[in-house]
C-alpha cells in the first residue's frame, strides 16, 4: 500500500499542501481530482522525490519511500518530457536501464510496450518526428517500461484522442488488475468515475473527500428528481431545497431527517407526478459540492 501521510509544502508565503493524507491500495485505480493549483502535481512530485516535502511522509509497504523504492515507481510528469532527438526504442531501453533493468530485459520491455500501445512501427523514429498523440504513447511506455510496482501518472489523459484514451484506460486497468496500485490525476471526471475504484478530491492543498464514488454519494444529503408538477411547487415544502428546475422536472435536496414520502405527498398535491425517485449524483456533482464546502481563498499554486 502506498500511504501518503500529512504532506505539507509551502512555496514562499503560499501554502501548496496542508496535511494531505490518503492511501492507494494494491490493485486499486485511484483517481486524484482537484482544480488547477489545488496541489495534485505538488503531491505527486513529492511522492517521486523531485520535490522535497516540508512535513509528512510517503511510505510503500510500511517503509519510507527512498531512492531504491522510487526506482520501482512508474511516473508520468505533468510536463511531458523525453529526449526529442532520441529514437523511441533506444529512449525506452535507456530509461528502463536507468531503472535498473539489464540490457536484454530493457530491450525486450521496450519492444513489448511499444507493441502494446500500438507504435511498433515507429520504434526507429526520433521522438520529435512523432505526432503529439504518439509522443504521449511513448510517454506512457516510459512510465511502464521497467515493470513498476507503483504507477503515478499526472494527467495521463490530457491531450489524448479517443482511441488513445481507450488504450490508456485499458492499460491502467490491466496494471491495477495485476496488483499494481495506480494513482492518476485528471480533470475528466466522467472518466475518473467510470475507471476508478476510489477517488480523492483535493482543494486548496487539503483532501476534502476520499473514497469510492458510492461512499462519497452516501455521505452526501439525499436528492430526488420529481417530474410532473409545475415549477415552484417545492419552494414552500419544509426541509427541502430546490437545486434546479428544468421544465416540469425539479431536483431537490432533503435536509437530514426529512421524510421522502412527505415530499411525494407535497408533489402530488401540486399536480400529477409522472416520475419520482432518488437522484444519484455523478462525480462531477459530488466534486462541485465537496470543493464548494471549502471556504473561499483557495490560492492558485503550481
Binding mask 42-71 for other proteins (x = CB under 8 A): ---x--xxxxx--------------xxxxx
What minimum distance in Å lies between the beta carbon of 233 and other proteins?
56
> Which of 80, 123, 249, 279 is close enough to bind other proteins by CB under 8 A?
80
- Rounded distance, CA 143 to CA 154, Å? 11
What minimum distance in Å lies between the beta carbon of 12 and other proteins?
12
Interface with other proteins (CB under 8 A), residue total 33
State which residue, 66 or 190, has the beta carbon closest to other proteins: 66
Grid coordinates standing for 299? 490560492
What minimum distance in Å lies between the beta carbon of 164 and other proteins?
19
- Rounded distance, CA 60 to CA 64, Å? 6
Angle ∠(161,75,173) on CA atoms, nearest 5: 60
77 binds other proteins (CB under 8 A): yes
Q: Which helix (H) or strand (E) holds 245?
A: strand 240-246
State which residue, 77 or 200, has the beta carbon closest to other proteins: 77
Grid coordinates standing for 137? 504513447
CB 205 within 8 A of CB 46: no
> Which of 6, 19, 100, 282 is close enough to bind other proteins by CB under 8 A?
100
State which residue, 71 or 294, has the beta carbon closest to other proteins: 71
From the list 41-49, 214-222, 261-269, 277-285, the region that binds other proteins by CB under 8 A is 41-49
Give residues 118-147 in contact with other proteins (rule: CB under 8 A): 142, 147
Pick from 6, 102, 90, 13: which is nearest to 53 by CA?
6
What minimum distance in Å lies between the beta carbon of 155 and other proteins?
13
Grid coordinates standing for 70? 522510487
> Which of 95, 110, 168, 270 is close enough to bind other proteins by CB under 8 A?
95
Q: What's the chain's length in residues?
A: 302
- Rounded distance, CA 296 to CA 3, Å? 28
- Rounded distance, CA 48 to CA 25, Å? 17
Bridge partners, 60 (sequence order)? 2, 63
Cα dist. 63→2, 60, 66, 178, 285 in Å? 10, 6, 9, 22, 37
State which residue, 141 or 286, has the beta carbon closest to other proteins: 141
> Which of 30, 75, 184, 224 is close enough to bind other proteins by CB under 8 A?
75
| Site of interaction with other proteins (CB under 8 A) | 45, 48-52, 67-73, 75, 77, 79-86, 94-95, 97-101, 142, 147, 149
Amino acid at each position: 500500500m502506498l500511504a501518503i501521510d500529512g504532506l505539507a509544502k509551502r512555496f514562499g508565503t503560499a501554502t501548496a499542501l496542508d496535511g494531505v493524507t490518503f492511501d492507494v491500495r494494491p490493485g486499486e485505480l485511484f483517481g486524484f481530482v482537484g482544480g488547477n493549483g489545488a496541489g495534485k502535481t505538488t503531491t505527486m512530485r513529492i511522492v517521486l522525490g523531485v520535490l522535497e516535502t516540508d512535513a509528512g511522509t510517503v511510505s510503500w509497504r510500511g517503509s519510507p519511500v527512498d531512492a531504491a523504492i522510487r526506482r520501482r515507481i512508474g511516473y508520468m510528469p505533468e510536463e511531458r518530457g523525453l529526449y526529442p532527438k532520441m529514437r523511441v526504442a533506444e529512449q525506452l531501453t535507456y530509461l528502463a536501464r536507468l531503472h535498473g533493468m539489464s540490457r536484454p530485459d530493457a530491450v525486450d520491455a521496450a519492444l513489448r510496450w511499444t507493441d502494446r500501445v500500438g507504435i511498433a512501427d515507429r520504434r526507429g523514429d526520433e521522438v520529435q518526428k512523432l505526432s503529439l498523440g504518439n509522443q504521449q504513447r511513448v510517454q506512457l511506455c516510459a512510465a511502464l517500461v521497467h515493470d513498476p510496482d507503483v504507477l503515478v501518472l499526472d494527467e495521463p489523459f490530457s491531450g489524448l484522442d479517443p482511441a488513445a484514451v481507450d488504450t490508456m484506460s485499458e492499460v491502467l486497468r490491466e496494471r491495477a488488475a495485476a496488483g499494481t496500485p495506480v494513482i492518476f490525476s485528471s480533470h475528466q471526471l466522467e472518466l475518473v468515475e467510470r475507471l476508478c475504484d476510489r477517488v480523492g478530491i483535493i482543494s486548496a492543498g487539503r483532501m476534502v473527500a476520499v473514497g469510492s464514488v458510492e461512499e462519497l454519494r452516501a455521505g452526501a444529503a439525499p436528492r430526488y428528481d420529481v417530474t410532473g408538477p409545475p415549477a415552484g411547487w417545492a419552494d414552500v415544502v419544509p426541509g427541502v431545497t430546490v437545486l434546479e428546475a428544468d421544465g416540469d422536472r425539479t431536483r431537490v435536496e432533503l435536509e437530514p431527517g426529512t421524510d421522502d414520502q412527505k415530499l411525494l405527498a407535497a408533489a402530488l398535491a401540486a399536480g400529477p407526478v409522472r416520475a419520482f425517485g432518488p437522484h444519484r449524483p455523478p462525480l462531477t456533482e459530488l466534486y462541485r459540492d465537496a470543493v464548494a464546502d471549502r471556504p473561499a481563498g483557495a490560492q492558485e499554486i503550481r
